[in-house]
Structure 1
Amino acid sequence: MPALSILDLATIYPDEAPKDAFARSVQLAQKAENLGYKRIWYAEHHNMNSIASSAPAVLISHIGAHTEKIRLGAGGVMLPNHSPLTIAEQFGTLAELYPERIDLGLGRAPGTDMNTLRALRREPTSAERFPQDVLELAGYLNDNTRIPGVNATPGRGTGVPLYILGSSLFGAQLAAALGLPYAFASHFAPTHLEQAIATYRREFKPSEQLAEPYVIAAVNVLASDTTEDAEDQLRTTTRQRIKLLAAGGQDLSNEQLDAIADSPRGQQILDMMAFRAVGTGAEAKDYLLRFANMVEADELILSSLAANTEQSLRSYEIIAEQLINN
């Protein structure tokens, strides 16, 4: 059985404020730590009303102060939005505050739309420098700066482990070339999962950080005490996503949202959740084992499909009972 971890987007549920999401993130991290999950990652998104993890380093520091041993990290920082030196300083600070607990996953997407990209002062071509920026960042963290006379303080010599995130062959090839772990975003971009992981394993070159390939695959989860309840929860979550992504947040009836779900646009949104473990603990376990075997994953990072705090915490508890503490 591969290691199990959690991806937390600090979801802001309807009628909530970001502070509610942060309180839930603390609660989730503490519970995950007690249940034996390996790590929790927080993803950088911008201008999304339902996601509060826009500043991963700040959120990680807050969670670190309320936990003791679980690994924490970004899954990920969208590096072209920032200078490598700034990220080295941020995660170097975290590494000094929480030794041996900090990860740094890196992506090259903007994590937002084109208008917000401009508000971030990011050039559309900045993603082209991603490989060079990763190397520059690694140099700062490993006391081997690529810019003479420029060092990250904090950061220098901390050796914060880097992970390449991706949903295409580009990330797989880069992670393989640099000898870094590879995390595939199959929880929302399932199309190229098997091809990308096969490419990564085939082309992998050992590095100081990693001797052999290491694959993390993301998968959606929703476990409950009965199959029927899990399906009901999934239906609620699906309607919420259709409302947010296809209906512009309009207050529509369930019948109207279901009709949109049946449209081509709705099907695109549903296809994003193609890899999902939904059902009882036994059913979720069976799916996760088959999924992990399919891609030969060393680790699964779980993204909750639950529609509220209680359901999400219960879902992770059920999965831990089946796959961590059993």
Structure 2
Amino acid sequence: MAKSLQEIQFSVLDLSPITEGSTAANAFKNTIDLARHAEKWGYNRYWVAEHHNMPGIASSATSVLIGYIAGGTNSIRVGSGGIMLPNHSPLVIAEQFGTLESVYPGRIDLGLGRAPGSDQITAHALRRSTRRDGSDFPEQLKELRNYLEPHELTQLPVRAIPGEGLNIPIWLLGSSGFSAKLAGELGLPFSFASHFSSDYTLPALDIYRKHFTPSESLEKPYVMVGVNVIVAETAEKAKYLATSFSQAFLSLIRGMPTQLKPPVSNMDELWSIHEQAIVDQQLKASIVGTPEQVKEKLQKFLAETDADEMIVNTQVFNHEDRLESYRLLKELVQ
């Protein structure tokens, strides 16, 4: 029997969008305000994502931002959706998240991805090497997990302090089958980026579930799916608000990322037919509409994925419209 929306958890994915004419400082004020509202409305967790060299995304120093959000809230889980591990030393991530878990015990999630979260030039600037392309992600992950084990079990010559012995939930994030298979084999929870890789959602979830092996972390598979959602009182307003997100992806496919732009009444004035086809394909899993329309589409998506949790990305220009979308969403799934 298919699950109902009331049976699963809902969480927030925030890229701390920098709107046109604004600053990162304003983005962070909006982020903490949204996090406090999300906590009040009963969202399960609040994740921020690592991106670099993006004029419209302020969450590049992800660990620092997680500390800011956790310090400004009381109970909601806070974490990374995700940390792009190939950009970092596993020891540094163990220490950073060991610090976060020590300050905010029982509230920190460590979501890990193997993509650069940027272009190749930026990846080189971050890593200072062209040798790390994500192919050694399993080895990096193993090293990181070893640092978080109690020292008496590993006897590592280098210790993560703080970090070792702390129970920090590790998630694998993915947009293909690679991390799905690895998460299953290791018995870790898995979050799939359905919000921008919808065609691979069901195959990846099938791979994860088929390869799942129970572990100390998890007895049975646990799936979270990302979904773009914009809810408004009318379908026309929701569609209008969604044009900011469409413009953001249009700027990406043109190779010229921008700050998040105001909504427009007619996207046909901005893109070619070919560009529209690419953006529509990328964002085809987005759910935009009235509460009734969104509820129906979310229930259908849940029936297809059998997810245990949905993490929602809402990229709209006006902060009040963004708050209202998340408020309406939580009302319709309760």
**Both structures adopt the same fold (TM-score exceeding 0.5):** yes
Deviations 1:122-175 (A, max 9, x none): 434341110011111111112257572221101111110100000111011000
Q: Distance in 2 between matches of 1:111 and 1:132?
A: 19
2:281 matches 1:271: yes
Count of aligned pairs between the two proteins: 323
Corresponding residue to 2:25 among 15, 19, 22 = 19
Q: What is the aligned counterpart of 1:143 among 146, 150, 162?
A: 150
Provide the residue aligned with 1:280 in structure 2: 290
For the pair 1:204 / 2:212, whether they are aligned, the reply is yes
**Structure 1 residue corresponding to 2:223, chosen from 205, 209, 215:** 215
Shift of the alpha carbon at 1:254?
A: 6.4
Q: Is the 8 A contact 2:244 2:315 kept in 1?
A: no
Tell me which moved more, 217-226 or 119-128: 119-128
Question: 2:324 corresponds to which letter in structure 1?
Answer: R
Match of 1:52 in 2: 58
Give the superposition deviation at 1:292. 1.4
Contact kept? 1:81, 1:122, Cα under 8 Å? no
Residues 196-224 of structure 1 deviation map (CA, whole Å, 9 limit, x = unaligned): 00111111001110110000100000000
The whole-number CA distance in structure 2 between the counterparts of 1:249 and 1:118 is 19
**Matched position secondary structure for 2:199:** coil
Aligned to 2:193: 185
Describe how 1:25-104 pairs up with structure 2 within 5 A.
25-104=31-110
Taking CA–CA contacts closer than 8 Å with sequence separation of 6 or more, which of the two structures ends up with the larger relative contact order?
2
TM-score relative to the length of structure 2: 0.91
Offset of residue 270 of structure 1: 2.6
The answer to whether the aligner puts 1:118 opposite 2:160 as a matched pair is: no
Closer/same/farther in 2, CA of residues 149 and 25 from structure 1, 3 Å limit: same
Q: Which residue of 2 aligns with 1:230?
A: 238
Hey, what's the Cα distance between the residues in 2 that align with 1:104 and 1:189? 21
Counting aligned pairs with the same residue, the percent is: 41
SS of residue matched to 2:27: helix
- Residue 24 (structure 1) shift: 0.4
Give 1:27's aligned amino acid: D
Match of 1:305 in 2: 315
Which deviates the most, 222-231 or 264-273? 264-273
Is contact 1:136–1:146 with CA below 8 Å preserved after alignment?
no
Q: Where does residue 140 of structure 2 map in the other structure?
A: 133
Distance, in Å, in 2 between the alignment partners of 1:208 and 1:247 is: 43
TM-score (norm 1): 0.94
Deviations 1:278-325 (A, max 9, x none): 11112111111111111110000000032221111100000011113x
CA distance in 2, matches of 1:198, 1:247: 33
Shift of 1:228: 1.4
The farther-off stretch of 214-223 and 232-241 is 232-241
Q: Distance in 1 between matches of 2:304 and 2:255?
A: 35
Moved more, 129-138 or 96-105: 129-138
Q: Comparing 239-248 with 21-30, which one deviates more in the overlay?
A: 239-248
Which ranges of structure 2 fall in alignment gaps of 5 or more residues?
A: none
Paired with 1:215 and 1:40, the residues of 2 have a C-alpha distance of 16
1:241, CA displacement in angstroms?
3.5
* Corresponding residue SS for 2:74: coil
| Matched residue type, 2:27 | A
Aligned partners of 1:124, 1:260: CA distance in 2, in Å? 39
Which residue of 2 is the match for residue 314 of structure 1?
Answer: 324
Any conservation in 2 of the 1:239–1:254 contact (CA below 8 Å)?
no
Do the aligned partners of residues 315 and 256 (structure 1) sit closer, same or farther apart at CA in structure 2, a change above 3 Å counting? closer
Output the CA distance in 1 between the equivalents of 2:272 and 2:197: 20
In 2, Cα distance between the equivalents of 1:46 and 1:25? 18
**Structure 2 vs 1, CA of residues 111 and 122 (structure 1 numbering), >3 Å: closer, same or farther?**
farther
- Pair 1:174-2:182 in alignment: yes
1:233-264 per-position Cα deviation (integer Å, ceiling 9, x unaligned): 1234323442454273699x969952553432
Q: Does the aligned pair in 2 maintain the 1:260–1:266 contact within 8 Å?
A: no
Q: Are the aligned partners of 1:42 and 1:60 in contact in 2 as well (CA < 8 Å)?
A: yes
Q: Measure, in 1, the Cα distance between the counterparts of 2:99 and 2:10.
A: 26
In 2, Cα distance between equivalents of 1:286 and 1:122: 47
- What is the DSSP-based 3-state SS (H/G/I as helix, E as strand, rest coil) of the residue aligned with 2:16? coil
Amino acid at match of 1:294: E
Distance 1:214 1:197 in 2: 10
Q: Is the 8 A contact 2:18 2:55 kept in 1?
A: yes
CA distance in 1, matches of 2:136, 2:36: 37
